[in-house]
Homo-oligomer: A and B are copies of this chain.
Amino acid sequence: MPAYATTMRIKFPVLALGLEVVTIILFALFAEYDDGKGHGHHPEPGNSTPHAASVRFGMFQDVHVMIFIGFGFLMTFLKRYGFSSVGGNLLLAAFGLQWGLLTQGFWHLTDGKIKINIFKIINADFSTATVLISFGAVLGKTSLVQLLIMTVLEIGIFAINEHLVANVFEANDVGASMIIHAFGAYFGLAVARVLYRPGLKNGHENDGSVYHSDLFAMIGTVFLWMFWPSFNSAIAEPGYTQLMAVINTYLSLAACVVSAYAISCLVEHKGKLDMVHIQNATLAGGVAVGTCADMNIGPFGAMLIGFVAGIISTLGFKYLSPILAAKLGIQDTCGVHNLHGMPGILGGLAGIVAVALGKKDGKAAMQAAALASSLGFALVGGVITGFIMKLPFWAQPPDQNCFDDSIYWEVPEEEEEHEESLTAEHYKNKAEV
């Protein structure tokens, strides 16, 4: 691939400014503040009392932190890709939330307008999570031009599926195991499959961490972990139901940490813990308890779900990811299949069981339809999006420049010299031995 193809100089500004201008025009035409009047037939759940709104505002801020700090820093584990991770995350989420407000809003117009309130901006943040999960699957192998295109398409498709699940199937998915986590993961994996790079089959020297990049990633992990109770209860019915969602998530995550650590230690032949597992599998309990977080599954039920999720996720990183890469050509940089994919399906299945046990006739089938719909839209949407992203003029990086900030970012000089000096030294030392 010739060098000029990879520069974003003109393509990226034109695309970004163009999208933003269109977005602002659409907002001018369709968006208003929600003055609390005229909701008609679709009152927003849980804005009924000032108290409920006040809890919801706090939860919005928690979700906001998960999206921008949590996802952003979780992906900084790569040694030379921190700028792209936290910086790309900021761009995609900042544009995505505007786009999500529109695409979701069009399904819920009031008097022909999108009435913006706290509930709506929580959902806008949610919609960006799907993109950030998919971003994890293709991290290091795509340009911001490609990723902006993915953002536009994925959030549009998400909004369709979300409407189906919530309004047509009327399925329960308060913490979005299905419509965000499973959807975002399989969408991203489908894109990754289409963008398969044979040249990376034997790995890439930059596809790994250094000591401090692993610590930066833990900032992301811990903020995601801490605020997940808010993620799973932010749009729950205020009061007892919302309390259950908080407690179930709190407990599921706690149990998940213990099982993830235990299995990580068990599967390494020297009994050492692996930061990849700790950074990711400890969060699987939050994903897996999402669908039934606001159901009466009992505190121990939530813990069981988290416990199992931690085991499945860690085993997935250890045994399944290498197989997916080698046999199916799915190069999943962050292992989103293990953190969001399988735990998301587990969450969907747990929801079916919980609803069935709750003896609500016909509801279990609707839950199953919601899971199938989420997976279907994700896979089909991901494949189509992948082919669009594969078109050869979106400034994608050549194989040798993957996982490297310096192709798209000004990187401090000194550090490069440092690396060179170290490398030079390293080879000299080797030569001397």
Query: A interface vs B, CB < 8 Å?
Result: 7-10, 12-13, 16-17, 19-20, 23-25, 27-28, 31-36, 49-55, 57-58, 61-62, 64-65, 68-69, 72-73, 76, 79-80, 82-83, 86-87, 90-91, 94-95, 97-98, 116-118, 121, 144, 208-216, 218-219, 221-223, 225-227, 230, 240, 243-244, 246-247, 250-251, 253-255, 257-259, 261-263, 265-266, 268-275, 278, 282, 296, 298-300, 303-304, 307, 408-415, 417-418, 420-422, 424-426, 429
Contact = CB atoms under 8 A, between A and B. Distances in A.
Given A68-B225, A254-B98, A266 B9 contact: yes
A28 B39 CA distance: 43
A210 B412 contact: yes
Nearest to A125: B250
Contacts of A253: 94
13 contacts: A9-B266, A10-B266, A16-B261, A20-B258, A32-B298, A90-B222, A95-B258, A97-B250, A118-B243, A121-B250, A208-B413, A210-B412, A272-B409
Contact of A94 (B34, B230, B257): B257
Most B Cβ at <10 Å: residue of A82, A91, A304: A91
List 7 tightest A-B contacts by C-beta distance, closest first. Answer: A9-B271, A94-B257, A50-B51, A28-B300, A16-B262, A13-B262, A27-B300
The count of identical subunits is: 3
A273 B410 contact: yes
A86 B222 contact: yes
Given A282-B90, A424-B429, A230 B61 contact: yes
Contacts of A251: 27, 98
A32 B296 CA distance: 10
Given A86-B222, A222-B86, A411 B211 contact: yes
Given A98-B251, A259-B17, A418-B422, A410 B222 contact: no
A64 B227 CA distance: 9
Nearest to A256: B94
Contacts of A72: 218, 222
A98 B306 CA distance: 13
B268 A410 contact: yes
A95 B254 contact: yes
A262 B17 contact: yes
A104 to B, nearest CB: 15
